[in-house]
Structure 1
Amino acid sequence: MAQKPNDWVLSSPKFATFLNFLEEVERSRQAGAEYFIEPASGVLGRAKSKRNQIIFGRRGSGKSSLLEKTRRDLGQERIAIGFFIDCEPHKDNTYPNVLILILIDLLSQIEQWLSTASSSRPSWSRQERDSDRPRERLSKKIIRQLLSDVAAEQSRLEQLLVEPDEVDVERMRQQGWSNSVHAKTSGKLASHGAEAAAEIGGESNAHSANETKETFRMGKRELLSRQLKVYRGLIERLTGAVARPIYILLDDLYHVHRSDQPHLVGFLHSLVKGKNACIKIGTVRSRSSWYLPGTQPVGMKIGDDASEIDLDVTLEDYDAARLFLHSVASKLAQSRGFELSRIITNEAFDRLLLGSGGVARDMINIWRKASAQAVSRIQGRAPVRMDSVTVEDVSKTIADLDELKQEDLGRDVDPNSSDGLLTEFARVKDFCFSPTCATNVLLIEREFRGRRRDHLNQLVDLKFLHIVKKSVSVPSRAARVYDAFMLDMSQYTGPRQRKNFRIVNFTDRDLNVQLGQPQLIYCEGDHGLN
């Protein structure tokens, strides 16, 4: 066994601690927010503006980190109050129950914030100044009333959650000037007729000589719509008391059933519309529906009701993608006392960029595992050539990503559509590995539409395919325009490496010539050519 110097960096306890740190950053929203770097200038400033926004990006692109960073900065700078709500825990619920659960989350956080505000002091320690805890000295009377009302609405929603989708409601119809209504079953919302409000297990009485009682069924959707006025009132009272807006930060909308998404977004938009409040929604574009047009449109329309922020850093601009990921990696390394160039070679980092497809979390995941591979290499029996992560270390790790991405597909995609995605992906691989193509790049015509195009778009968001160049011209197809995509490196690196398989270098000067080959065309017009 070759003698190892005592000062090998990768085999030091300090580097072992660094690998644990990378895993924490990879998995923790809070740690990700602390080391967040803007993929483009001005992204964070836009996210902090009081404007409804939908934030798009592939898994791991930084949506959650941006929302968490926004929430922290809003509190620390006393700009607004941010409430972060994760949709993933509620993904097994359909509308309106998923809305009820999200409203419960929101009210619970408001209740916690008010409780903290009631104990705030006029002077703060350094730690408190750097935190996002409330600093207002609100009137105790206002706090008590808000806390009471918020707790009551939260309790009503919790009771409504366990009720069937429709409830029996009794209404006392009177010939006089007033009426009386109550829920037939305790714990159900009641129709307040002209008041357009609701109570659970409540009752209002009025005196009249002639009364008739009628029973009818009312759905949870209608009950929630009637109660919307009450929720809007709570938002208005809270923002008025603290003289700051409220930001609802809704993460991972794509976990909600797609047909339910516009209704959820529409209700939350109605909740904040015209109030000193806004909503920010993080999601995956190809797996989301945020607006349904029609005579009575549902949801939020981008451009009219909301703006969009795109966090995706793609290989289309290779230099920009490298600069961004290099900045992320350097910040992480320097925070623990390492220079990036000391612990990973430039060639290995370039392979890291391609393997991650420009996705920050995937880059960190590959980097951490490739580093662990390098440590094993140094501590093993093989001769040690370099005390840093090498291309070989990265390549072996990239091959293992396929299993993780398959798990993401099985966990996040509707089972009814997963078979179609897997079938399309098998076609893509067969095409790329065929003797005709034998290249890691394929072309799809811009005008190619239909279910298969939807599947291809989802494969991009699931990171099985990566956009590398738009508007590619093929001389023999002069009237057509194509987009070029790279097959994920996990399919042809490490133990999956193939002979006679060409890997395109996206920094080559003749890249346009390499991509403009008819044998790379996978789909065009209304037909797939494979």
Structure 2
Amino acid sequence: MSKKAPSESQLNTTEVDDLLVLCEEVMRATPEGAIRFIEPAPGVLARAKSKQHNIVFGRRGSGKSSLLRKTAADLTIDRRPIAFVDLETFKGHTYPDVLISVLIKTLGEFEQWLNGAAINPATKTSFWKRLFGTAPKRPPFHKANTAALKSNLRVIIADLEAQLRAPETSTKQTKITVANELATSGQFSAAATVPGLSSSATANIASKSNGTKEEQASYVSHKVEYLHQNILRFQHFFKELSILSDGPSFLILDDLYHIRKADQAKVIDYFHRVAKGNGMWLKVGTIKHRSQWYEHSDPPIGMKLGDDAREIDLDMSLEKFETLKKFLKQVLDNLIAEKPPLSIKELINPTAIDRITIASGGVTRDFVGIFSGSIAVARNRGPEHHRGPKIGLEDVNLAAGDYDSNKREEFKLDSAEDREVLEAAFTKLVSFCTETSKCNVFLVSQKLTGRVRESIDQLIDLRMIHPVKSRVTLKKGAAGELFEAYMLDLSQYTAARKVHDFHMVDLSGHDKDEAIRRSSLIYSGT
């Protein structure tokens, strides 16, 4: 442990160096990070582990992957077959190859699980204690039966890999020799087209002097048709897995929004059909307004919320500020506790914690990232600065401004084909807040529809604006009309605060609800 003089700030200790490294590590969800999981609301983890299909919604960094990693860890300790598939791997893949690729990865993950967690005895502490911190109570699976199921699984995976390598359309020929001699010759042809499959067949029959007939058949084979034809095969595997494990299995598909939006419902639909009635439950993590998990078509495609799956929403808004701050402070407390003798009291002023909470918009990863940046800002100015030896408000403001580059980069990655439209919409919104209304909070009518509404929804998911209050009425005018309040991300107006008459609503203050009931804050996007 490093020594420091009584007047020296904890910010300059080697323990803070270690804390910064830890903060960088926890900003990405990993299997090892499951031990640090903090439940954002009571019952969330229990729902994620339940025997029902779930779609977990949340902005980048809100804790979707952490929840799903913790779910996977807890189910593994209970010896429940589990596969965790990160769909970012398949970004840019097109259908049906994307589905075949995800199937291969899924079955490969189940194979790995069967090789380890299924058969490792509870006494093998090098496996259980190292990865999960505890040992299972259920006994290992029957080895011979497990080996037989794994053998079948390898055949299925090899077949899928062959399909993935094959071209989308292939021509095959079959020759049949018949002993009967024909006195005539002729030709027959037929063609048929069905949804998802085009096929044609030709047959040539000719008389042979040696009394044989040669028949040739050619047809078009599609990967989509292969998937249709083999769904019973995949269902049978999961039924057998359920019997072997004496219970359900779970498939976690994380970050659905990374695959093409046009393909998302198709991928979900296929796994939903495989799972139905076969002891497998789907847990899908994604960003709400960047995803399409269900299509109203004939027949419907995907999973419909309420009927087929239940929603788990991890987005914590600034509306419940004290609850949000308590949760985020607990996250910070736990990280600091890993690096004694550091203490939150010696590192940061209470008002600065409020400001980081506001700057994060309720996103856990952004909270940790801005906290790390605030340490760097405070260190650079030194403990003798008039702001004192701890992280203060202005340190957070500057760190939030610096953090904007991270958000902008992820904005580009996640907005994809909508980037130009969303950038234009955001520029217009920033101009309204900083030049027209001169306030960090703006109002949107609950009746608003169309492109402006869609852009606002997507900008929320991209963490450039943040929900503040779901129901607002004006002090004067617009009788009976309801509005929603949003805050422009702090990084966009740290400089604007110095502009004359710019009003920054303090969302930690008791008068915030009254401060936003002004008609001048209404944004229509026109």
Question: What is the CA-CA distance between 1:85 and the residue it aligns to?
Answer: 0.5
Q: Spell out the pairing of 1:329-340 with structure 2 (5 A cutoff).
A: 329-337=332-340, 338-340=342-344
Amino acid at match of 1:128: W
**1:374 paired to 2:375:** no
Cα distance change of structure 1 residues 112 and 510 upon mapping to structure 2, 3 Å threshold: closer
Moved more, 94-103 or 360-369: 94-103
Alignment partners' CA distance in 2, 1:272 and 1:301? 15
Query: What one-letter code is carried by the residue in structure 1 that aligns with 2:502?
Result: F
**Preserved CA contact (<8 Å) 2:82 2:251:** yes
Rate the CA distance shift 1:410–1:218 in 2: closer, same or farther, 3 A.
same
Give the whole-Å Cα distance in 2 for the aligned partners of 1:393 and 1:214: 75
How do 1:40-51 residues align onto structure 2 when only pairs under 5 Å count?
40-51=41-52
What residue number does 1:483 align with? 484
Q: 2:177 & 2:265 partners in 1: Cα distance?
A: 39
Could you give the per-residue CA deviations for residues 71-126 of structure 1, whole angstroms, max 9, x where no partner exists? 00111234x22211001111110111111111111111122222226863474438
- Give the structure 2 partner of residue 406 of structure 1: 408
* Pairing 1:18-417 to 2, within 5 Å after superposition: 18-78=19-79, 80-116=80-116, 120-121=120-121, 123-125=123-125, 128=128, 131=131, 136-169=139-172, 212-337=215-340, 338-378=342-382, 383=385, 386-414=388-416, 416-417=417-418
Equivalent residue of 2:523, what SS? strand
Separation in structure 1 between the aligned mates of residue 498 and residue 160 of structure 2, nearest angstrom: 55
**2-side partners of 1:137 and 1:81: how far apart?**
12
Gap regions ≥5 residues in structure 2: 179-211
Distance change in 2, residues 1:376/1:276 (3 Å):
same
**1:404 is matched by which residue type in structure 2?**
N
Cα-to-partner distance string for 1:411-445 (whole Å, 9 max, x where unaligned): 1222x3110000100110111122x4111111111
Cα deviation 1:472-518 (Å, max 9, x = unaligned): 11231114211111000000115985342110122444433322211
Deviation at 1:449, TM superposition (A): 1.0
Q: Distance in 1 between matches of 2:389 and 2:492?
A: 28
- SS of aligned partner of 1:100: helix
Please name the residue that 1:453 is paired with.
453
**1:393-414 deviation digits (Å, cap 9, x = unpaired):** 1111100122111111211222
| CA distance in 2: counterparts of 1:243 and 1:332, whole angstroms | 39
What is the one-letter code of the residue matched to 1:444? V
TM-score by length of 2: 0.86
Alpha-carbon spacing, 1:367–1:117, altered in 2? closer, same or farther (3 Å) = closer
Q: Distance in 2 between matches of 1:94 and 1:165?
A: 11
CA distance in 2 between counterparts of 1:417 and 1:59 reads: 17
Cα separation, 2, equivalents of 1:173 and 1:343: 83
Q: Is the 8 A contact 2:99 2:267 kept in 1?
A: yes
Instruction: Report which stretch shifted further, 8-17 or 384-393.
Output: 384-393
> Which residue number corresponds to residue 512 of structure 1?
513
Which amino acid in the other structure matches residue 388 of structure 1? K
- 1:281 aligns to what SS in structure 2? strand
What is the match of residue 180 of structure 1? none
The alpha carbon displacement at 1:389 in A equals 1.4
SS at match of 1:294: coil
Structure 2: distance between partners of 1:497 and 1:174: 90
Aligned to 2:471: 471
Counterpart secondary structure, 1:27 = coil
- Secondary structure at 1:426 match in 2: helix
| 1:182 alignment partner in structure 2 | none
> How far did residue 244 of structure 1 move?
2.9
Deviates more, 1:262-271 or 1:333-342: 333-342
Matching residue's letter, 2:115:
S
Question: Counterpart of 2:199?
Answer: none
The verdict on how the C-alpha distance between 1:130 and 1:257 changes in structure 2, with shifts beyond 3 A counting, is same
The Cα shift of 1:171 comes to: 6.8
Task: Tell me the CA shift for residue 55 of structure 1.
Answer: 0.2
CA deviation after TM superposition for structure 1 residue 333, in Å: 1.5
Compute the displacement of 1:174 (Å): 12
Separation in 2, partners of 1:296, 1:518? 46
C-alpha displacement at 1:454, in angstroms?
A: 1.1
Residues matched between the structures, number:
485
1:193 corresponds in structure 2 to none
Residue pair 1:117, 1:138 contacting (<8 A) in 2 also: no
Q: What SS does structure 1 have at the residue aligned with 2:382? A: helix
Q: Distance in 1 between matches of 2:93 and 2:291?
A: 16
2:81/2:114 contact within 8 Å kept: no
> TM-score scaled to structure 1, two decimals?
0.86
Separation (CA, whole Å) in 1 of partners of 2:520 and 2:371: 34
- Structure 1 distance, partners of 2:73, 2:273, is 25
Misfit runs of 4+, over 6 Å? 171-175
How many percent identity over aligned positions? 35
Inter-partner Cα distance in structure 2 for 1:426 and 1:167: 49
TM-fit CA distance, 1:466: 0.5
Tell me how far apart the structure 2 counterparts of residues 239 and 378 of structure 1 sit (CA, whole Å): 61
Alignment partners' CA distance in 1, 2:512 and 2:351: 20
| Distance (whole Å) between structure 2 residues aligned to residue 351 and residue 433 of structure 1 | 19
CA distance in 2, matches of 1:25, 1:510: 35
Which amino acid is the alignment partner of residue 10 of structure 2? V
Structure 1 residues 496 and 151: CA distance shift in structure 2, 3 A:
farther
Relative distance call for 1:164 and 1:455 in structure 2 (3 A) is farther
Shift of 1:41: 0.8
Flag the 1:491–1:497 CA change in 2: closer, same or farther, 3 A: farther
C-alpha change, 1:508 and 1:301, in structure 2 (3 Å) is: same
Task: Give the CA deviation at 1:173.
Answer: 10
Q: Given residue 433 of structure 2, which amino acid in structure 1 is its aligned partner?
A: C
Q: What corresponds to 1:188 in structure 2?
A: none
Aligned-pair distance for 1:17? 0.9
Are the counterparts in 2 of residues 314 and 467 from structure 1 also a CA contact under 8 Å? yes
Measure how far apart 1:136 and its partner are: 4.6
- Judged with a 3 Å threshold, the aligned counterparts in structure 2 of structure 1 residues 30 and 392 are, in CA distance, closer, same or farther, namely farther
Moved more, 360-369 or 339-348: 339-348
Pair 1:173–1:501, CA change in 2 (3 A):
farther
Q: Deviations over 1:151-170 (max 9, x none)?
A: 22212222222222233355
353-362 or 468-477: which moved more? 468-477
Q: Is the 8 A contact 1:71 1:81 kept in 2?
A: no
**How far did residue 129 of structure 1 move?**
5.5
**CA gap 1:174/1:389 in 2 versus in 1, 3 angstroms:** farther
* 2:468 and 2:487 in contact (8 A); partners too: yes
Q: 2:520 is paired with a residue of what secondary structure?
A: helix
Counterparts of 2:331 and 2:118, CA distance in 1? 39
